[in-house]
Amino acid sequence: MAVPAPRTVRTVAAALSAALAATLLATATATATAPARAERQHRRPPHTWTVTEAAHAPGARIALDDTTGALSLAVSRDGRTVIEPSPLGILAQQADLSQGLRFLHRKDRAVDERYRAKSGKRLDRRVRMNETRLSFATAAGARLDLVVRAAADGIAYRYVLPAGYGDVLGETSAFNLPSDAGAWLSTYRVDNEGRFNQYTAATAPTGEYSDQALFATDGGYTLLAESDLTGTYSGARLAHTQGTGTYRVELADSRVHTDGSLTTPWRAMITGDLATVTGSTFTDDLAPASKVADTSWIRPGTALWTWLAGGRTAGQSLGAQEAYVDYAAAHHWPYEAVDSGWYFKKDEWDVTDPDWRTDSWMPQLVDYARAKGVGIIVWIHQRDLDTPEERAEWLPTLERWGVKGVKIDFMNSEAQSMFQWYDTVLAQTAAHHLMVDFHGATLPKGIQRTWPQVMSMEAVGAEEKRTNTAAHLTTLPFTRNVIGSMDFTPGGFQRVGLRPNSDAAEAGLTVAYESGLQMFAGTPESYDQRPLARDFLDQEPAAWDDTRLLAGSPGQEAVLARRSGERWFLGGVYAGAAHTATVPLAVGRGRWLVQTIRDGADGLAQDSQVLHGGDDLRIDVVADGGFAGIACPWHPGVTTCYR
């Protein structure tokens, strides 16, 4: 037992001697290479995390800079740039959560959901996303969670803050685009009714733009958007300085009031090829599930909108409105929309009379329309629904009369206080079984999934505008209408000289533009003068089983196909010179009877042909023109797609 001991002592002594020599060598080496090591440490790559749904789907790369503690997010697709590294961060009264962050932990989960919508590009939806939650803290202990979701058609992120940090003072969030990226932007307006114009990311003028901005890079197309915006936060817009590709997120409020913890809206990037972007339901998929348990009373449909059809003058009387109801009933249009003026002083009643609502002709009109199978939608100003007392007076009254929906106008604000009003009126219209069409409004930021009674929202430079261009009309399917139903009110055939397109293009808009309440803006006389367009409108539904982009280029052409049952409705709009358009009939295998309406030498003309699925449909298009059509399965004996 005494023999091993000396060996152990000698072994330890040798080890200590070797360690001392190594230490001396390391010290000498460190002294000689200290500057190089410091340089390597300074250049040390940041912490990075990636989130993607599948190999060829868009992927997010989140980075934490080890020097500044600042976060950034970049998006790529198939190895190509979509969004360059862009800053993340949020500023609160009690914490700066845009820098000085250190990583704590990561949590991943899969999101797999199914839901059925009441309107939109398709009724049945499947959601597959991968979600990563990254937790960070500052040196002072302030916490920030960054939640990132990745789907086949987009990337989104949001911030989660615990309670105790006070009001939000702003975000450092931004989107960095390659300077030469194509850009289709709408100058910001509180009613979101700006016209879209084309630039590059860097050449767009200095100013503020709507957050529904479309960009084209070598990674495809990307549409910026928001989802799940409620009264807990403030609406956003994009601020840009000419000469850069940076678009900063600016909030409508300089201070966002916060009680307790906060989860911000999603900042969404819908990305892919143009067909993927156009057909995306990403902003709906990000939103919370429906808060309306029984949706059986919510029925999308087409409507005769009487404002541009004559409602500005003689339309606000019982007799005139009954005539419009008669026309809607004759053409099986399920709704008639009575616009501004019906509840102000007219020759039918006097609102100075305390019993004026009892004396109103609206209940008579509703009864008259009901007997003919037509529902009534009424316009009402937001200022008449902005207090609890007014809502308690109006909404039950309209429900009792049997009104089917309300078209609420002139919110004209993206402030937190207005979104708190939206939260209230959405719950109350659902409780009173009133469908809703918002005008002078915010954008549909996922609202139609959570509150399916919202059939449509304006938030667009629409039919009433006299400054629209054909290029603007061909951009809307790739921008505004991507993110939710759009009440453009197409079909204003009588507005010759006030609209930039042809009659066939105007008919095509009723398909190219999706709206759960598709309000036709024409006069009965204008429809009767164009029987081909009128008969086409008679066929149209307002809820779709599927949507596909057949051909498109923002600002130049947009051809969409929307399916209802076995029939595909086609709508094409173009900007530019007359030409023969070539459109792939990508609606499925088999043989199809295709009936199209185009501009002829003496007015509208109709053509019929039988094509195989995937064949090219060729159609003559006039300058700034378009077409409308229906495709249905063909077999011997089938001569028309009309019912």
pLDDT of amino acid 272: 97
pLDDT over 70 at 11, yes or no: no
Contact partners, residue 316, CB within 8 Å, separation at least 6: 338, 340, 341, 342, 346
Which residue among 495, 514, 542 closes a domain?
542
Do 210 and 319 sit in the same domain of this protein?
A: no
Give residue 310's pLDDT: 80
Does the residue 597 lie in any domain? no
- Please give the pLDDT value at position 360: 79
Residues 485 and 372 in one domain: yes
**HSE value, Cβ hemisphere, 13 Å, CA-based, for 498:** 13
Q: Are residues 260 and 325 in the same domain?
A: no
Q: Do 267 and 322 share a domain, yes or no?
A: no
Both 400 and 375 in one domain: the answer is yes
Domain-located, residue 137: yes
pLDDT value, residue 42: 43
Distance CA 51, CA 60 (A): 5
- Total domain count for the chain? 3
Long-range contacts of 558-564 (CB under 8 A, 24+ apart): 558/474, 558/475, 558/476, 558/477, 558/478, 558/512, 559/512, 559/583, 560/278, 560/477, 560/511, 560/512, 561/511, 561/586, 561/587, 561/631, 562/121, 562/511, 562/514, 563/587
User: What is the pLDDT averaged over residues 59-72?
Assistant: 97
Confidence of residue 4 (pLDDT cuts 50, 70, 90): very low
Q: Whole-model pTM?
A: 0.90
Q: How confident is the model at residue 317 (pLDDT cuts 50, 70, 90)?
A: confident
112 has a pLDDT exceeding 80: yes
Residue 562 lies inside a defined structural domain of this protein: no
3-class state of residue 85 by DSSP: strand
Domain check: are 306 and 213 in the same one? Answer: no
Confidence of residue 358 (pLDDT cuts 50, 70, 90): low
CATH number of the domain encompassing residue 238: 2.70.98.10
pLDDT at residue 179 is higher than 60: yes
Q: What percent of the chain has pLDDT over 70?
A: 90
Assign 10 a pLDDT band (cuts: 50, 70, 90).
very low
Give me the catalytic one of 226, 409, 414, 506.
409
CATH code for the domain in which residue 364 is found: 3.20.20.70
Q: Is residue 164 predicted with pLDDT exceeding 80?
A: yes
Residue 122 lies in a domain: yes
Residues 36 and 127 placed together within one structural domain of the fold? no
Band of residue 344 on the pLDDT scale cut at 50, 70, 90: low
Instruction: Give the range of the structural domain holding residue 441, as residue numbers without chain letter.
Output: 301-542
The answer as to whether 587 is a domain residue is no
Nearest to 425 by CA among 456, 389, 386, 384: 386
User: Which tens digit of pLDDT belongs to each residue from 216-270?
Assistant: 999 899 999 999 999 999 999 999 999 999 999 999 999 999 999 999 999 999 9
- Which SS3 state, helix, strand or coil, does residue 204 take? coil
User: Does 31 fall in a domain?
Assistant: yes
Q: Residue 341 has what pLDDT?
A: 74
Please give the pLDDT value at position 13: 36
To the query of whether residue 399 is one of the catalytic residues in this protein, the response is no
In a domain, 151, yes or no: yes
Comparing C-alpha atoms, which of 289, 155, 279, 168 is closest to residue 225?
Answer: 155
pLDDT of residue 355: 54
Average pLDDT over residues 163-190: 97
Percent of the chain with pLDDT over 90: 87
Looking at residues 429-458, what average pLDDT do you find? 98
Tell me, yes or no, if 464 is annotated catalytic.
yes
Q: What is the mean pLDDT of the chain?
A: 91
Task: Please identify, among 522, 542, 562, the residue that sits at the C-terminal boundary of a domain.
Answer: 542
The residue from 527, 542, 557 where one domain ends is: 542
Asked whether residue 351 falls in the same domain as residue 322, the answer is yes
For residue 600, is it within any domain?
no
Catalytic residue among 171, 226, 464, 557: 464
Same domain, 523 and 398: yes
Confidence (pLDDT) at 376: 98
Q: Which of 82-91, 176-185, 340-349, 544-553 has the lowest mean pLDDT?
A: 340-349
Is residue 176 predicted with pLDDT exceeding 70? yes
Residue 6: the pLDDT is 32
Mean local confidence (pLDDT), 527-554: 98
Dmax (CA) for the chain in angstroms is: 122
- What is the pLDDT averaged over residues 5-32? 36
pLDDT tops 60 at residue 405: yes
For residue 363, pLDDT over 90 is answered with yes
Residues 166 and 264 in one domain: yes
Domain match, 40 and 51 both: no
Residues 451 and 313 in one domain: yes
